[in-house]
Amino acid sequence: MRLFPRLLLHHLTVVVVMAVVLVAAAEVAAHPFIGHHVDQMVRLIGPQGARLRPDLYVGMRATLTWALLTALPLALGVAALAAWVAARQVTASVRTLQDGSRALAAGEYGRRLPEGGQDELAQLAHSFNVLAGALERVEQSRVELIGNVAHELRTPVSAVRGYVEAAQDGILPVPQALQAVAREVAGMERLVGDLSLVSRVEAGRVELRVMEVDVAELLAQVQERFVLAFEERGVTLAIRRPAEDLVVPLDPERAHQILANLLRNALSHTPRGGTVRVDVRREGRGVAVTVSDTGAGIAPEHLERIFERFFRADAARTRGEGSGVGLTISRGLARAMGGELGVRSAVGRGSTFTWTLVREDRASPALRVAASVG
C-alpha cells in the first residue's frame, strides 16, 4: 500500500477510536453527573419532584445521547478532512524528497529542496541540500581533476611525439631524442607519483616512519639540496637555524618533502633579486617553521584554494612549474604528522607559509607509538 492511503487509514483509525472512547467516556460519566443535576431539580420542584425524578433522568440521559450521536458524524467528517490534509502534506514532502533523491542518483547534483518550516521534514530537506552540495563539489572536483591531469599530461605526451617524429625523420639524432623522451617520461612518472600520494594523503592511508628529528639538521639538508637552484634563478635563500636544539617526532622523508615543496613553490613565485627566508621558532610548546618570499603575493580569495589540487592563482604564469599538487601534499602530510600548514599573504608583498610542528610531549598517542617504533 502506498504512503498516502496508509497515513490516511492510520489517521482515520485514530479518529474512530477517539470517537468511540469519547462516546463511551461520556456515557460512563453521565450517570453521576445527570443524577446530581436531577437531584437538584427535584429539590427545587418540591414534593411533586420525587414522582418526576425517573422521567427527568431518562429525558436528560436521552438528550445527551442524541446530542453525542448528532455531533459525532460532523466531528468525524471534520477529523477525516483534517486527516486527509495532514496525510497529503506529509506525502507531498516525502514525494519531494523522493524526486530529489532520484535526481541525485541520476547525477543532477544541482537539485535543491525547499527548506521551509522547523519540523523534522524541513531538517531532512536541509540535510539533503547539504549532501547534494557536497556531492556537487566532489563531482566538480572530479571533473576538474580529470581536466587538469589531461592538461598536465598533454604537454609531455606532445613532446614525446615530437621527439619520436624528429628522430624518425632524421632531424634529431636518436640518442639525443631518447634522452629527451626519457626526461619527459620521468616528468610524467613524477606526476603519477604525486597523484598517488595525494590520494593516499586525502584518504588518510599515508605511511609514516616517525622518529626524533633535529630541526636544524633537517634545514641543513634542505638548504644543501636547493642552494644551487636558488643561485641559478638569482634568488637569495636565507635560512636561520634555531640557536637551541629543537627535536620533534617526524617522518624525516615526509618532513623533507614538505619543506622541499614549500621552497620550490616560493622559488617559482619569487622574481630575480628577491629573497626567500626560512625561520624556526618556538610556538607555545611546539615549533613553527616559516617560509617567506618576496613575490607578488596571493589574493585573499585564493588563500585557502591554493591547497586544492591543481589550483593556481595565476595559471598562465605557473603552468608547467611542478605538478600542481605540492601544497596539497604538504598540508596533508603536515596534518598526518599531527601538525598544521597555513598561509598568510599580502598582494605585492609576498607570502608566508607556516608549518606548525607538534613536539613529542604534545603528540597524539598513535604518533608517540610510531616514534618509539621508528
Domain ranges of the chain: 3-105, 140-202, 211-373
Q: Percent of the chain beyond pLDDT 70?
A: 83
Given a contact cutoff of 8 angstroms between Cβ atoms, the answer to whether 42 and 52 are in contact is: yes
Place of cell 536541509: 126
Q: Which residues contact 42 (CB under 8 A, 6 or more apart)?
A: 49, 50, 52, 53, 56
Given this model, what pLDDT does residue 72 score? 73
pLDDT bucket at 19, cuts 50 / 70 / 90: confident
Mean pLDDT, range 53-60, rounded to an integer: 72
Query: Is residue 9's pLDDT more than 70?
Result: yes
Query: Is residue 7's pLDDT more than 70?
Result: no
Given this model, what pLDDT does residue 371 score? 35
Mean pLDDT in the chain? 79
Mean pLDDT, range 338-345, rounded to an integer: 90
Given this model, what pLDDT does residue 36 score? 66
Given this model, what pLDDT does residue 243 score? 74
Tens digits of residue pLDDT in 154-163 = 888 888 899 8
Its sign, for the CA torsion 242, 247, 250, 254, is positive
Q: Which residues contact 33 (CB under 8 A, 6 or more apart)?
A: none
Query: Is residue 270's pLDDT more than 80?
Result: yes
Given this model, what pLDDT does residue 234 score? 94
At residue 164, the 3 state secondary structure works out as: helix
Query: Is residue 221's pLDDT more than 50?
Result: yes
Given this model, what pLDDT does residue 374 score? 34
pLDDT bucket at 319, cuts 50 / 70 / 90: very low
Tens digits of residue pLDDT in 194-204 = 778 877 887 77
Q: Please name the fold of domain 211-373.
A: Heat Shock Protein 90 (3.30.565)
Tens digits of residue pLDDT in 31-40 = 676 776 667 7
pLDDT bucket at 322, cuts 50 / 70 / 90: low
Q: Which residues contact 67 (CB under 8 A, 6 or more apart)?
A: none
pLDDT bucket at 49, cuts 50 / 70 / 90: low
Q: Which amino acid is at 322?
A: G
140-202 is a CATH 1.10.287.130 domain = yes
Given this model, what pLDDT does residue 3 score? 61
Query: Is residue 236's pLDDT more than 90?
Result: yes
DSSP-derived secondary structure for 245-311? --EEEE-HHHHHHHHHHHHHHHHHHS-TT-EEEEEEEEETTEEEEEEEE-S----GGGTTGGGSTT-
Given this model, what pLDDT does residue 327 score? 87
Place of cell 549532501: 131
- Report the interhelical angle of 252-269 vs 326-336 (nearest 10°): 150
Given this model, what pLDDT does residue 359 score? 63
Query: Is residue 44's pLDDT more than 80?
Result: no
Given this model, what pLDDT does residue 308 score? 79
Query: Is residue 292's pLDDT more than 90?
Result: yes
Given this model, what pLDDT does residue 231 score? 92
Mean pLDDT, range 202-221, rounded to an integer: 86
> 289, exposed or middle or buried, with CB in 10 Å at 0-12, 13-18, 19+?
buried
Q: Lowest-confidence range among 65-74, 161-170, 238-247, 349-358?
A: 65-74
User: Averaging pLDDT over each range in 5-9, 115-119, 168-172, 353-357, which range is the top one?
Assistant: 353-357
Query: Is residue 362's pLDDT more than 60?
Result: no
Higher confidence at residue 221 or residue 143?
221
Q: Percent of the chain beyond pLDDT 90?
A: 13
Residues 218-231 as b/e (b if ≥16 CB within 10 A, e otherwise) read bbeebbeebeeebe
Q: Nearest-CA neighbor of 280 among 306, 249, 243, 255?
A: 243
For 55, the enclosing helix (H) or strand (E) is helix 49-105
